[in-house]
Amino acid sequence: MEHLIKFLEARICKCRERAAELEKDFRKDEAVFEKVRENVFDIFKTVLHVANAQHGGDEAAVRLFFESRLNQIPAAWAASLEKARLHGDENKALIEEIKLAAVSDIKAALEEAK
C-alpha cells in the first residue's frame, strides 16, 4: 500500500499547488474545486493511516478495510449528487461530481497497486 500513500500524497500536493495557482490567477471558484478534490484525497489518506494502524503488517486486511471505506464513504456523495440533480442544484451537483471523480482516481490507483 506504499504506492497508494505516495499516490495520495502526490495528488494532495498537486491539488494544493493548482489551487494556489488558480487563486493567483483570479479563478477563485475553480480554486475551491481543487480544494474539494484535495480534501477527498486527504480523507482517504487518513483512512489509509487508520487501516495501517489497525491492521499494520497485514496487507490484505489493510486493503480490505480501505476498500470497504472507499465504497462506503462516497455512497453519501452519490446520493447527494442524485438529490442535487433532482432539484436542479447544479453547483452542488458539480461539487459532488468532483468528489466522486477523485474517488474514481483512487480506485484506479488501487487497482494498479494490485
Q: Give the residues lining the site for other proteins (CB under 8 A).
A: 25-30, 33, 90-91, 94, 97
Tell me the C-alpha to C-alpha distance, in Å, between residue 39 and each of 69, 77, 88: 15, 13, 25
Output 23 or 42, the one with its CB closest to other proteins: 23
In whole angstroms, the minimum distance from the beta carbon of 98 to other proteins comes to 8
Residue 52 DSSP SS3 = helix
Output 12 or 93, the one with its CB closest to other proteins: 93
Output 30 or 42, the one with its CB closest to other proteins: 30
Closest CA to 113 of 63, 57, 74, 77: 63
In whole angstroms, the minimum distance from the beta carbon of 26 to other proteins comes to 4
- Do residues 70 and 110 lie in contact, with contact meaning Cβ atoms separated by under 8 Å? yes
